[in-house]
């Protein structure tokens, strides 16, 4: 860890700590009657409005269009890091514990490393050139196998309701989305700047979720949105966890690299576990606890491959 990058490592730690709490915050909103799609929509509306306020106050020059090729890349980023990622993650929280979701989503590190290996091997563009070099060795292979074993223990814990399996599989889907997001975002941030790249992700995230919002108008009923806890959690998710943390995280990926930065995700579920136990009263079964520990150890081990 070089001295000049130390502040970015601290920033990554702070962002991951906030994101760890978001699982519990989203769980609270679902319990209050908001649908996962509505939660994402309000969260990104606040973040998108906030980033335009920041652009206006800082008088940054920006454009709305960057050519078909790069706009398509931003569209993919808006789906994988925005609409589809949060749709799968938020829906997972409706069916399984916040702690299980957080541990399964942290497997994004493994998928990021594997996707990076494949893309650098077969890709021949600026994105492949910007990705970190990953070595195929025992840390990556052993860590991946250990984490996969842990994921199987969590998903197929027979002492839990069958609905939990649906939530766990959705959490793994969210991890796959984030891994895909990590492939392309660092290069777009480097080329267009942190604020512009983040703004485009928010825009396309909102655009691709719009067709699904209409069916969940009940989530915006006054008796739901009028609750202090609901508005408090929505503001936290929109302005802190989305606006500030996305800007900071994209900056971290640019400075530290897509794989090194994603290594910090393994700390995410620790913050979720502590918050969920304190605020939601969640508890783990023995089998699920062993599985979560295996996931955490596996991703740490695999992270030594870079």
User: CA-to-CA distance for 121 and 218, rounded, in angstroms?
Assistant: 48
Q: Does residue 3 lie in a domain region?
A: no
The pLDDT value recorded for residue 257 is 76
Of 76, 155, 148, 78, the closest CA to residue 110 belongs to: 148
Number of compact structural domains in the chain: 1
Tokens representing residue 181 in the block: 């997001």
CB atoms within 10 A of CB 50: 18
Q: Does residue 288 lie in a domain region?
A: yes
> What b/e string do you get for 140-158 counting C-beta neighbours within 10 Å, with b at 16 or more?
beebbebbeebbebbbebe
**Domain extent at residue 262:** 20-305
Whether residue 245 is predicted with pLDDT greater than 50 in this model: the reply is yes
Q: How do residues 24-48 score in pLDDT, each as one tens digit?
A: 898 899 989 999 899 999 999 999 9
Q: With beta carbons less than 8 A apart as the criterion, state whether 200 and 247 touch.
A: no
Q: Does residue 13 lie in a domain region?
A: no
Taking each continuous run of H as one helix and of E as one strand, the counts in the chain are 16, 0
User: CA-to-CA distance for 255 and 71, rounded, in angstroms?
Assistant: 23
Tokens representing residue 263 in the block: 């290594």
Whether residue 157 is predicted with pLDDT greater than 70 in this model: the reply is no
Interhelix angle 84-95/163-192, nearest 10 degrees: 150
Higher pLDDT, 225 or 263: 225
CA 276 to chain centre: 18
Model pTM?
0.78
Average pLDDT over residues 244-264: 78
User: CA-to-CA distance for 182 and 141, rounded, in angstroms?
Assistant: 20
Q: Does residue 269 lie in a domain region?
A: yes
| pLDDT band of 66, cuts 50, 70, 90 | confident
Q: Does residue 6 lie in a domain region?
A: no
| pLDDT band of 204, cuts 50, 70, 90 | very high
Most confident of 113-127, 193-207, 271-285: 193-207
Q: Does residue 15 lie in a domain region?
A: no
The pLDDT value recorded for residue 162 is 47
φ, ψ for residue 159 (rounded to 5)? -85, -5
């Amino acid at each position: 860890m070089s001295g000049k990058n130390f502040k970015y490592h601290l920033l990554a730690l702070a962002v991951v700590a906030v994101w760890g709490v978001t699982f519990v915050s989203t769980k609270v909103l679902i319990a209050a009657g908001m649908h996962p799609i509505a939660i994402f929509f309000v969260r990104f509306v606040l973040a998108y409005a906030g980033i335009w306020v920041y652009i206006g106050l800082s008088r940054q020059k920006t454009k709305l269009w960057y050519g078909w090729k790069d706009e398509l890349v931003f569209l993919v980023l808006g789906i994988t890091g925005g609409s589809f990622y949060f749709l799968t993650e938020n829906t997972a929280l409706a069916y399984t514990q916040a702690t299980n979701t957080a541990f399964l989503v942290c497997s994004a590190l493994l998928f990021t490393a594997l996707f990076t290996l494949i893309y650098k091997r077969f890709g021949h563009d600026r994105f492949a050139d910007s990705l970190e070099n990953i070595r195929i060795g025992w840390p990556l292979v052993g860590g991946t196998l250990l984490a996969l074993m842990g994921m199987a223990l969590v998903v197929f814990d027979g002492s839990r309701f069958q609905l939990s399996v649906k939530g766990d599989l959705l959490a793994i889907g969210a991890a796959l989305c984030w891994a895909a997001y990590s492939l392309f975002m660092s290069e777009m941030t480097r080329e267009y700047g942190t604020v512009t790249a983040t703004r485009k992700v928010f825009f396309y995230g909102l655009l691709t979720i719009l067709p699904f919002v209409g069916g969940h108008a009940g989530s915006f009923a006054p008796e739901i949105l009028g609750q202090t806890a609901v508005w408090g959690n929505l503001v936290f998710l929109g302005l802190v966890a989305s606006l500030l943390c996305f800007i900071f995280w994209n900056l971290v990926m640019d400075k530290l690299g897509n794989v090194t930065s994603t290594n910090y995700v393994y700390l995410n579920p620790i913050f979720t576990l502590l918050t969920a136990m304190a605020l939601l009263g969640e508890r783990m079964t023995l089998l699920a606890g062993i599985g979560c520990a295996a996931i955490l150890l596996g991703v740490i081990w695999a992270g030594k491959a870079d």
